[in-house]
């Protein structure tokens, strides 16, 4: 096939260098840092023994390792999906079908109101291909969701039940999954219409979009309550020792708030969590009802104090820098898509072409993989600071330590992940390090702590009952893997 492109072609090596350079730089940077600065720890069974039964650690491993393996499989499926679309130009064939379908659909629509709406959208977009563009995104998302449905179902429902983390019924799980998909489909359609519509009109769309989006990113926290509300109901936390402990913590920290509320998670999950959202006096503290069932008021106060630590740590300057990076990222994406499109090999023309969507996702995935270690290390650093804040604020290292252990017993994190795993993914410090932090804090201030034994950190009996199913499932798993 002869290429008759009139535009001067850039040397083949430039996009490759542009892609490889940040990858190499990141790895060089992260490898230069000593593992202490990265907060990576190799954990031995001996270190865990005062706090966890050996059997508990083994159960967690039985739960976690297949999930790690599946994450790799899912990534492989994702990469193959993009590769199939781009390398075999299936994206172009899919788009052709979408064009045919929307054209024939357009001819059949008789409603005057719909025709008028279509005409307005065509005017905004530049021509009538907007409908095909949206259909393309929807088809893309639907295929992708179907590809991942078996593993989502197995890991999100079957396995979570086997291990007793989830008590959600199948219809409820499917309803959540559907809501998630619809939400995703609507937001992606709007995004694609806006993004490519803008790119079709302005060469410098990345600038026009980057600046307002940076501002929006700064205020994105405002949407948190809406997002949570879509999935679960909440109600005010009734008066009692838990409420008293939390109000005392908030007062001590000098934080304004509107309410302390409980999120009804009991009927779907046995995991625990808490978070704070909103700004100023409209701020809300949200606790999972499972957290209240599992922990003492002092332990819950420590969870809230940790979240307050994040709030305290939130720096406007850092957020500003983060959000301002969006514009250069968009510029680079535009440049990359034009460079790749010029080759006429990947089924799209340039950054104005919706068929470039899989390339954009693939690029963001690669970027995420490269930035993963940096993001994880930054996050671990922030978590440590939030822990320090909580210890300082409440001065209750005993409750902090038992909170950390109970949290681990319930949420089953990897207690001794390999270093490479921590390097790439671990956004939180290891449980053993967080326990160590509380113990060091107590030692430095002459606060006595009880001698740790796994029995000492047992969960309350009624909560333990909820986990019996999980324990049983885990038991059989351990036996069968031995
Ligand atoms: Zn945190």
DSSP character string of 215-263: HHHHTGGGGHHHHHHHH--EEEPPSSHHHHHHHHHHHHHT---SEEEEE
CA of 444 to the centre of ligand 1 (A): 23
Q: What pTM did the predictor assign?
A: 0.76
CA of 373 to the centre of ligand 1 (A): 17
CA of 194 to the centre of ligand 1 (A): 34
- CATH top class, domain 232-311: alpha beta
**Predicted pLDDT at 482:** 33
Contact (CB, 8 A) for 319 and 309: no
CA of 87 to the centre of ligand 1 (A): 41
**Predicted pLDDT at 36:** 60
**Predicted pLDDT at 315:** 67
CA angle 375/376/379 to nearest 5° reads 85
**Predicted pLDDT at 2:** 42
CA of 303 to the centre of ligand 1 (A): 9
Q: How many CB atoms lie within 10 A of CB 408?
A: 23
**Predicted pLDDT at 1:** 41
The CA distances from residue 412 to 51, 123, 424, 471, 476, in Å, are: 14, 54, 19, 12, 17
CA of 272 to the centre of ligand 1 (A): 13
CA of 307 to the centre of ligand 1 (A): 6
Low-confidence ranges of the chain (pLDDT < 70): 1-39, 219-232, 315-316, 465-482
**Predicted pLDDT at 225:** 58
CA of 460 to the centre of ligand 1 (A): 24
CA of 309 to the centre of ligand 1 (A): 8
- Helix, strand, coil in percent for the chain, rounding step 5: 70, 5, 25
CA of 221 to the centre of ligand 1 (A): 16
| Sequence ranges of the chain with CATH classification 3.30.2010.10 | 232-311
Element (H, E) at 284: strand 284-288
The proportion of the chain whose per-residue pLDDT surpasses 90, expressed as a percent, equals 41
**Predicted pLDDT at 309:** 93
CA of 384 to the centre of ligand 1 (A): 8
CA of 482 to the centre of ligand 1 (A): 35
Contact (CB, 8 A) for 173 and 156: yes
CA of 407 to the centre of ligand 1 (A): 12
Kindly state the tokens that stand for 213: 């989006």
Cα 161 to Cα 166: distance, rounded to the nearest angstrom: 5
CA of 313 to the centre of ligand 1 (A): 11
CA of 33 to the centre of ligand 1 (A): 23
CA of 471 to the centre of ligand 1 (A): 27
**Predicted pLDDT at 27:** 60
Kindly state the tokens that stand for 108: 């059949």
**Predicted pLDDT at 4:** 43
CA of 264 to the centre of ligand 1 (A): 21
Residues in a beta bridge with 263: 234, 288
CA of 404 to the centre of ligand 1 (A): 12
CA of 310 to the centre of ligand 1 (A): 7
Cα 46 to Cα 24: distance, rounded to the nearest angstrom: 37
How much is the CA Rg of the chain, to the nearest whole Å?
Answer: 26
CA of 311 to the centre of ligand 1 (A): 10
Kindly state the tokens that stand for 212: 């307002």
Kindly state the tokens that stand for 385: 């600071």
* Residue 395, CB-side half-sphere exposure with 13 Å CA sphere: 6
Q: Which among 70, 64, 69 has a CA at the least distance from the CA of 163? A: 64
CA of 168 to the centre of ligand 1 (A): 26
Cα 350 to Cα 360: distance, rounded to the nearest angstrom: 11
| Ramachandran class of 468: left when φ > 0, alpha when ψ lies in -120 to 50, beta otherwise | alpha
**Predicted pLDDT at 211:** 82
CA of 474 to the centre of ligand 1 (A): 28
CA of 431 to the centre of ligand 1 (A): 12
């Amino acid at each position: 096939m002869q290429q008759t492109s009139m535009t001067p072609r850039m040397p083949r090596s430039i996009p490759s260098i542009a892609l490889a350079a940040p990858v190499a730089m990141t790895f060089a940077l992260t490898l230069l840092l000593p593992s202490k600065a990265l907060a990576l720890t190799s954990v031995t069974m001996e270190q865990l023994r005062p706090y966890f039964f050996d059997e508990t650690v083994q159960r967690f491993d039985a739960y976690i390792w297949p999930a790690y393996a599946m994450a790799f499989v899912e990534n492989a499926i994702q990469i193959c999906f993009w590769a199939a679309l781009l390398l075999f130009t299936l994206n172009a064939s899919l788009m052709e079908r979408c064009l045919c379908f929307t054209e024939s659909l357009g001819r059949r629509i008789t409603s005057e109101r719909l025709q008028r709406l279509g005409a307005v959208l065509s005017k905004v977009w530049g021509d009538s291909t907007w409908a095909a563009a949206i259909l393309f995104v929807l088809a893309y998302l639907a295929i992708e969701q179907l590809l991942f449905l078996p593993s989502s179902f197995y890991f999100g429902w079957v396995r979570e039940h086997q291990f007793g983390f989830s008590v959600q019924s199948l219809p409820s799980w499917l309803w959540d999954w559907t809501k998630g998909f619809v939400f995703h489909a609507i937001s992606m359609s709007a995004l694609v219409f806006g993004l490519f519509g803008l790119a079709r009109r302005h060469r410098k769309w990345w600038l026009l979009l980057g600046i307002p989006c940076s501002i929006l990113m700064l205020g994105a926290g405002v949407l948190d309550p809406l997002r949570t509300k879509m999935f679960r109901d909440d109600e005010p936390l009734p008066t009692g020792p838990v409420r008293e402990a939390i109000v005392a913590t908030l007062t001590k920290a000098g934080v304004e708030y509107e309410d302390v509320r409980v999120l009804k998670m009991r009927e779907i999950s046995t995991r625990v969590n808490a978070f704070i959202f909103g700004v100023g006096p409209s701020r809300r503290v949200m606790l999972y009802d499972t957290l209240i069932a599992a922990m003492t008021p002092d332990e819950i106060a420590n969870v809230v104090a940790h979240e307050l630590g994040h709030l305290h740590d939130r720096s406007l300057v850092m957020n500003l820098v983060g959000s301002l990076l969006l514009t250069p990222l968009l510029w680079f994406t535009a440049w990359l898509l034009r460079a790749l499109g010029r080759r006429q090999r990947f089924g799209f023309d340039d950054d104005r072409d919706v068929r470039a969507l899989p390339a954009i996702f693939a690029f963001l995935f690669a970027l995420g993989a490269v930035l993963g270690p940096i993001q994880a290390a930054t996050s671990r650093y922030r978590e440590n600071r939030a822990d320090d804040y909580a210890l300082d604020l409440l001065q209750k290292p005993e409750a902090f330590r038992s909170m950390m252990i109970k949290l681990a017993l319930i949420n089953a994190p990897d207690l001794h992940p390999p270093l490479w795993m921590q390097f790439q993914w671990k956004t939180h410090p290891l449980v053993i390090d967080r326990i160590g932090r509380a113990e060091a804090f107590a030692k430095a201030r002459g606060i006595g702590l009880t001698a740790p034994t796994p029995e000492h950190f047992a969960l309350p009996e009624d909560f333990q009952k909820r986990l019996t199913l999980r324990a049983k499932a885990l038991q059989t798993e351990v036996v069968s893997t031995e």
